[in-house]
């Protein structure tokens, strides 16, 4: 990491020197995440383990009007203080923002997504240790909803490494205060290593997950009360075999929050998802391994210890049910975030909103 910092600083200074001082602003941000995640699983396809670490992601760059060029690093550090297991991810991207349209290109933080990815598509541990998306992000924002499309290039092809990328669409539309609809579309691609033998084959994974929902938040004493009912289908194929696997099922999500307390229950029933996970793991399927069970229920009972415009601290006890097993997970996630705009408007409460969690 020490070797990278001079290059990042030089890159930023060169950009600043190219433009007149009146046309530019120095942009910066600091994003710090601490996570403790203890998993005690009896389900054979999900691994029991404990994650305990911190992640520091500073950025600096220049902003001119609606455009910004940012550079930084994301340093993931195990809590034991040793350098073993620590990783540094470079962050370099262009960002454009207007009232309706936003775009990011390069290696940019996953937190730029308008909505956190559901567990059936993005496992918790991948979010901890792979904080950036490498590719492009396009977002459209409306008063009644949003749409975002991104490409994430996870692995570059070499003689030993398989090329892996995914294209994801996520959208939501709320035509009435109590009714909304949305969904996810995913194309996941895993290629062969360069010049590899026929033991490898190109692998495809397609996912469609539409849903309908009702929002009762304005009609109850609760701060949030929503119910989503969706249909989830995935298509998986090893090209040298040619057979398509097409597990599908019903996904129901209930979310209730009151002040600092919350409950979320997610229920899935249908065909066992991720049929190629035992063979390819997270190289292909990025979702939670619990969805390999044809029946799965997850209940999160959580409390916000802190929640304001720059700090989000969440403690959660999660119950995972699969036939024959009831497993336990405890999470403590803290996120601190501040940037130049928030610092400038720190005294204006009307421009502040609550900081979202990483999960």
| Banded model confidence at residue 22, pLDDT cuts 50, 70, 90 | low
269 pLDDT above the threshold of 90:
yes
CA distance linking residue 114 with residue 326, whole number of Å = 32
List pLDDT tens digits, range 84-122.
889 999 999 999 999 999 999 999 999 999 999 999 999
81/291: higher pLDDT: 291
As a whole number, the mean pLDDT across the chain is: 92
Which pLDDT value is given to residue 250?
98
CA distances from 116 to 35, 190, 195 (A): 17, 23, 37
Residue 339's pLDDT is what? 96
Asked if residue 170 lies in contact with residue 115, where contact means CB atoms within 8 angstroms, the answer is yes
Q: Mean pLDDT across the stretch 18-34? A: 82
**What domains appear along the chain, each with residue ranges and CATH number?**
4-351 (2.40.160)
Burial class, 350, CB count within 10 angstroms (exposed 0-12 / middle 13-18 / buried 19+): exposed
Question: Do 153 and 133 touch, CB atoms closer than 8 A?
Answer: no
pTM for the complete prediction? Answer: 0.90
**pLDDT per residue over 129-176, tens digit each?**
999 999 999 999 999 999 999 999 999 999 999 999 999 999 999 999
Note the pLDDT of residue 333: 98
Per-residue pLDDT, averaged over 285-291, amounts to 96
Given pLDDT bands bounded at 50, 70 and 90, which one contains residue 7?
low
Q: Check whether 8 has a pLDDT greater than 70.
A: no
Q: Where are the alpha helices (DSSP H) in 130-195?
A: none
* Alpha-carbon radius of gyration of the chain: 21
pLDDT of residue 12: 55
pLDDT at 337: 97
17: pLDDT strictly greater than 70: no
pLDDT digits (tens, 9 = 90+) for 226-246: 999 999 999 999 998 889 999
| Tokens at 4, concatenated | 């990278």
What is the predicted pLDDT for the residue at 348? 79
Q: Which residue is listed with tokens 């530019």?
A: 24
């Amino acid at each position: 990491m020490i070797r990278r910092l001079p290059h990042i600083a030089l890159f930023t200074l060169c950009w600043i020197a190219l433009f007149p001082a009146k046309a530019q602003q120095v942009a910066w941000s600091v994003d710090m995440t601490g996570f403790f995640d203890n998993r005690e699983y009896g389900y054979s396809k999900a691994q029991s383990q404990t994650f305990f670490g911190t992640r520091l992601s500073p950025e600096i760059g220049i902003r001119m009007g609606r455009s910004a060029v940012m550079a930084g690093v994301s340093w993931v550090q195990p809590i034991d203080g040793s350098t073993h297991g620590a990783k540094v991810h470079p962050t370099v991207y262009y960002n454009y923002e207007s009232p309706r349209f936003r775009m990011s290109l390069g290696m940019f933080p996953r937190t730029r997504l308008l909505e956190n990815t559901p567990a059936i598509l993005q496992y918790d541990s991948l979010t901890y240790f792979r904080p950036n998306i490498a590719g492009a992000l396009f977002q459209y924002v409306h008063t009644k909803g949003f749409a975002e499309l991104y490409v994430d290039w996870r692995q570059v092809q070499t003689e030993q490494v398989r090329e892996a990328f995914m294209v994801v669409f996520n959208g939501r539309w709320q035509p009435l205060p109590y009714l909304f609809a949305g969904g996810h579309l995913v194309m996941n691609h895993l290629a062969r290593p360069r010049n590899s033998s026929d033991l490898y084959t190109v692998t495809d994974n397609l996912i469609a997950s539409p849903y309908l929902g009702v929002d009762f938040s304005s009609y109850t004493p609760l701060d949030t009360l929503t119910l989503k009912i969706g249909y989830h289908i995935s298509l998986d194929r090893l090209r040298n075999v040619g057979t398509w696997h097409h597990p599908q099922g019903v996904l129901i999500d209930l979310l209730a929050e009151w002040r600092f307390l919350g409950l979320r229950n997610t229920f899935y029933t249908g065909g066992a998802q991720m049929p190629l996970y035992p063979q390819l793991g997270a190289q292909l399927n990025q979702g939670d391994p619990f969805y390999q069970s044809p029946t799965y229920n997850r209940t999160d009972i959580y409390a916000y210890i802190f929640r304001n415009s720059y700090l989000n601290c969440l403690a959660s006890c999660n119950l995972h049910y699969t036939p024959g097993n009831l497993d336990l997970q405890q999470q403590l996630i803290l996120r601190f975030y501040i940037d130049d705009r928030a610092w400038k408007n720190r005294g204006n409460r009307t421009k502040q909103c609550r900081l979202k969690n990483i999960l």
